Amino acid sequence: MTVSENHGNASICLGCWDQMHVPIPIRGPLALPFRAFGITRSKMNPNICTICERAFRYVKQKNHVTANATILFADIRGFTFLSERMDPVRLGQVVSTFHDRCAEAIWAHDGIVNKQMGDGLMAIFNFPIRIDAHASAAIMAAQDIQRQCSAALQNLRSDLGDLPDHVLGVGVGIHTGDVEIGEFSSFRSDFTAIGGAVNLAARLESQAAIGEILISPATAARAPDLMTDSETRSLQLKGIEQPVDAAVLTDR
């Protein structure tokens, strides 16, 4: 898949269409009556709606489903260091720049920004919008994230003066596997993904240095044409017994 093949500004919710074959208008005049009932475009991805985001039980007729998906985690490296030295307003601007750039990259490849946690985020590819090549979509989104953020953060770096090497850049981790998707909280009504595959993606991200994308063997195997410039790194990850031979892409 390339950016030109993605859905752009869809007129109906792609999540509701792919999951239920129900056309829910999200743009144009047909969307107006839906908006009156509080059904709007989702903040997770502007091509899905708040029905598929918030009414998971209704949409799937189940509390959760098993789905094969690619999970991407990204965060700002050295954020703790920064947060101790920067004023909170400026710090907030750094975080929102990062989140905006990440969201654009993820949406361009039909993924959703499922969770934002401080300076980090988690994206899901292949739910609720179906993507045949979801491993490739996630890797290309990660490459866009690194490209977009390094330019923005480089400007900031020169403003801030001398910073150690481990500060101000982005690390990304990606893994593909079966996850449980559903509503797992009694006080929140939006869905998320859980399971070992999610943990592995998060662990990979925690090992990524500035500018690096760490890709699990399962994801790399599904996207061989994107792996030609990668190197392999054997990693011992917390909570995972066997070492993981991650493919490392660096944006240079």
Judged by beta carbon, residue 13 or residue 133, the one nearer Zn ion is 13
Minimal distance, residue 100 CB to Zn ion, in Å: 23
Number of H helices, E strands in the chain: 9, 8
Residues numbered 191-230 forming contacts with Zn ion, rule: CB under 5 A: none
**Which residues make Cβ contacts (< 8 Å) with residue 4, sequence separation at least 6?**
none
Cα–Cα distance between 155 and 98 in angstroms, integer?
13
- Check binding of 52 to Zn ion (CB under 5 A): yes
Question: Using CB under 5 A as the criterion, what x/- string covers residues 10-29 for binding Zn ion?
Answer: ---x-xx-------------
Task: Tell me which DSSP letter residue 190 carries.
Answer: S
Judged by beta carbon, residue 30 or residue 209, the one nearer Zn ion is 30
Minimal distance, residue 85 CB to Zn ion, in Å: 42
Minimal distance, residue 75 CB to Zn ion, in Å: 28
Q: Hey, is 250 helix, strand or coil?
A: strand
Using the contact rule CB under 5 A, the part of the chain among 45-53, 137-145, 183-191, 202-210 near Zn ion is 45-53
Minimal distance, residue 246 CB to Zn ion, in Å: 34
Q: CB of 219 within 8 A of CB of 208?
A: no
Cα–Cα distance between 205 and 171 in angstroms, integer?
6
Cα–Cα distance between 15 and 114 in angstroms, integer?
13
Structure tokens at 164: 């150690």
Minimal distance, residue 24 CB to Zn ion, in Å: 5
Find tokens 């150690």 and name the residue. Answer: 164
Cα–Cα distance between 231 and 250 in angstroms, integer?
9
Structure tokens at 149: 């953020």
Number of residues that bind Zn ion (CB under 5 A): 6
Using the contact rule CB under 5 A, the part of the chain among 6-14, 114-122, 170-178, 242-250 near Zn ion is 6-14
Evaluate the omega torsion of the peptide bond into residue 128 and state whether it is cis, within 30 degrees of 0: yes
Using the contact rule CB under 5 A, the part of the chain among 47-55, 74-82, 132-140, 199-207 near Zn ion is 47-55
Using the contact rule CB under 5 A, the part of the chain among 42-50, 81-89, 167-175, 200-208 near Zn ion is 42-50
Sites of contact with Zn ion (CB under 5 A): 13, 15-16, 49, 51-52
